[in-house]
């Protein structure tokens, strides 16, 4: 008869399942990009670039609305103090 599975066995099986699911998602994401790019890419280089960038996500409008209080060149815009 088989011996019962321990909690460590279930954790290992869960980790393996998560890795397989993520690998499957990546495969289908790349495959979708390939199917789209095969019809729209003008050169092989463009096709290869699209496939290589398949893991990237598009930016949301919220990503452009971030405000920073820093100036791009803080040393050029700060007021000069008189030297003693």
Give pLDDT tens digits for 42-81.
Answer: 999 999 999 999 988 888 887 777 666 666 776 776 666 6
8 A C-beta contact, residue 29 and residue 50:
no
- Give the phi and the psi of residue 78 in degrees, each rounded to 5: -75, 150
8 A C-beta contact, residue 33 and residue 49:
no
The number of domains in the chain is 1
Within a domain: residue 2? no
What's the mean pLDDT in 11-38?
94
Within a domain: residue 4? no
Three-class SS state of 65: coil
Within a domain: residue 7? no
Structure confidence at residue 84 as a pLDDT band (50, 70, 90): low
Range of the domain at 33: 23-56
- Percent pLDDT > 70 in the chain is 79
Within a domain: residue 36? yes
Amino acid 78: pLDDT: 67
8 A C-beta contact, residue 41 and residue 48:
no
């Amino acid at each position: 008869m088989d011996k019962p599975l321990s909690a460590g066995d279930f954790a290992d099986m869960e980790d393996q399942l998560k890795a397989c699911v993520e690998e499957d998602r990546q495969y289908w994401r790349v495959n979708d990009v390939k199917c789209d790019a095969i019809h729209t890419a003008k050169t092989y280089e463009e096709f290869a670039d699209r496939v290589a960038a398949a893991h990237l996500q598009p930016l949301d409008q919220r990503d452009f609305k971030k405000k920073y209080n820093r100036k791009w060149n803080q040393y050029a815009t700060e007021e000069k103090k008189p030297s003693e």
